[in-house]
Amino acid sequence: MAISQRIFVDAIRKYCAGHGITIEVRSDGWLVVMQRGSQRRHAFGYDLGLNSAVAHRIANDKAATSEVLALAGLASVPHSLFLNPRLHDHVPPSGSWEVMLALLAEHRAGVVVKPNEGTSGRSVFLARSQPKLELAVNRIFASHASLAISPYLDIAHEIRVVLLDEEPLVVYGKNRPSVVGDGERSLLELAIAATSAERRAAVLRGMTDDLDKHELDAIVPAGERRMLNWRHNLDAGSRPMLLRQGEIRDTCIALAAKAASTIGIRFASVDVVSVDGRWLVLEINSGVMMEGLGRLHPELAYAAYEAALDKVFAAPST
């Protein structure tokens, strides 16, 4: 799908058409210029311009978000920052490798290594050994200025809350793909058979990134359920499931709203995870991307962007 055909851009087009706003889509959809009378507004990437520069920068920095939330006493997943050795003027004289190894030794279940800035679960690796950690670090530093390391957690549920001024617009869970063994077929064969053509590439990409050939070719015992990916990202094959009214939904909304308030962000999606019965903030996304949700529930994505755009054009020009 071309960038200019994203639901985000389409939602802006529809809003502008219905509110007498002229629109120019440039840079293949990355830049959108909107004007109504003297009001001139811009959208860039997935950012509609409601958030302050500082709130945007904190949310876009996983380690900074973790630090701010921890200082405020909010339950969150810790992320440790490491700078690319190319930025040697800012790297401690002792280097970072020993600290990374110490984190790996501390968290016996493994660590998650990811770009410190970025979305969609790209270049996110699970490392349970020193060679895997070294490989992940080298891959990320090949194209990023920094990375973040967090403990690998056995996440039971991951919930995304899209907020506008601390009010929930959309709340949904991310259901990871899984298969049940029949005692005859391999994990890879089961995955191919159980996955639709449109989701197959994403699901298989996540599997082959994490599993070796032996694991993929191993026969899954009859009746045994296997998750196909440890990640919950929609881009990795998970499916969005709307959360019904209830205690879990209320708990996630309350925690997400506190997190958004803590960093002072207005329009954002907050990922909240359940670990051993405890809810934690995983990350905050300043750019609200709803492409995966929009494929199943386009009306919710359009309504969320419309509510945000109402706020954009309600604000006085600056």
pLDDT of residue 4: 47
Say if residue 41 is in the same domain as residue 88: no
Interhelix angle 298-314/7-18, rounded to 10 degrees, is 60
pLDDT of residue 88: 67
Instruction: Quote helix, strand, coil % in the chain, to nearest 5.
Output: 40, 25, 30
pLDDT of residue 121: 62
pLDDT of residue 238: 77
Say if residue 146 is in the same domain as residue 91: yes
pLDDT of residue 86: 83
Say if residue 90 is in the same domain as residue 129: yes
155 vs 148: CA distance, rounded Å: 18
199 vs 213: CA distance, rounded Å: 21
Say if residue 135 is in the same domain as residue 98: yes
Q: What is the pLDDT along the chain (318 residues), one digit of tens a residue?
A: 444 458 999 999 999 999 999 999 999 889 999 999 999 999 999 999 999 999 999 999 999 999 999 999 999 999 999 999 887 666 666 678 999 999 999 999 999 999 999 766 678 899 999 999 999 999 999 999 999 999 999 999 999 999 999 999 999 998 888 889 999 999 999 989 888 887 777 778 777 777 778 888 999 999 998 888 777 676 666 788 999 899 999 999 999 999 999 999 999 999 999 999 999 999 999 999 998 898 889 999 999 999 999 999 996 654
- In the chain the beta strands, taken as DSSP E runs, fall at 22-26, 31-36, 39-44, 80-83, 111-115, 125-127, 146-151, 155-164, 167-175, 178-180, 225-227, 239-242, 267-275, 278-285
Q: Give domain status of residue 298, yes or no.
A: no
291 vs 7: CA distance, rounded Å: 6
Q: Give domain status of residue 29, yes or no.
A: yes
Say if residue 131 is in the same domain as residue 85: yes
Q: Give domain status of residue 169, yes or no.
A: no
Q: Give domain status of residue 26, yes or no.
A: yes
Question: What does 86-97 look like in DSSP terms, one character per residue?
Answer: GGTTTS-TT-SH
Phi, psi of 222 (to 5 degrees): -60, 130
Among candidate residues 208, 229, 250, the one where a domain is terminated:
229
Q: Which of 143, 145, 135 is nearest to 88 (CA)?
A: 145
Residue position matching structure tokens 């994490």: 210
22 beta partners: 35
Q: Give domain status of residue 248, yes or no.
A: no
Kind and range of the H or E element at 209? helix 197-210
Q: Tell me, what CATH number does 119's domain have?
A: 3.30.1490.20
Say if residue 96 is in the same domain as residue 146: yes
Number of H helices, E strands in the chain: 11, 14
State the residue range of the domain holding 199. 179-229
Quote the tokens at residue 145: 């200025």
Say if residue 87 is in the same domain as residue 147: yes
Quote the tokens at residue 235: 């881009």
Q: Is the pTM of this model over 0.85?
A: yes
Residue pair 220/181 in contact (Cβ under 8 Å)? The answer is: yes
Length of the chain: 318
Say if residue 146 is in the same domain as residue 185: no
Based on the structure, what is the number of domains in the chain?
A: 3
Kind and range of the H or E element at 257? helix 247-263
pLDDT of residue 51: 96
Say if residue 38 is in the same domain as residue 83: no
Q: Give domain status of residue 108, yes or no.
A: yes
pLDDT of residue 262: 98
Among candidate residues 229, 250, 267, the one where a domain is terminated:
229
pLDDT of residue 35: 96
Task: Please give the radius of gyration of the chain, using alpha carbons only, rounded to the nearest integer.
Answer: 21
Q: Give domain status of residue 310, yes or no.
A: no
Please report the sign of the dihedral spanned by the C-alpha atoms of residue 50, residue 52, residue 55, residue 60.
Answer: positive
Q: Give domain status of residue 56, yes or no.
A: no
CA dihedral 194, 197, 198, 200 (to 10 degrees): 60
Say if residue 140 is in the same domain as residue 183: no
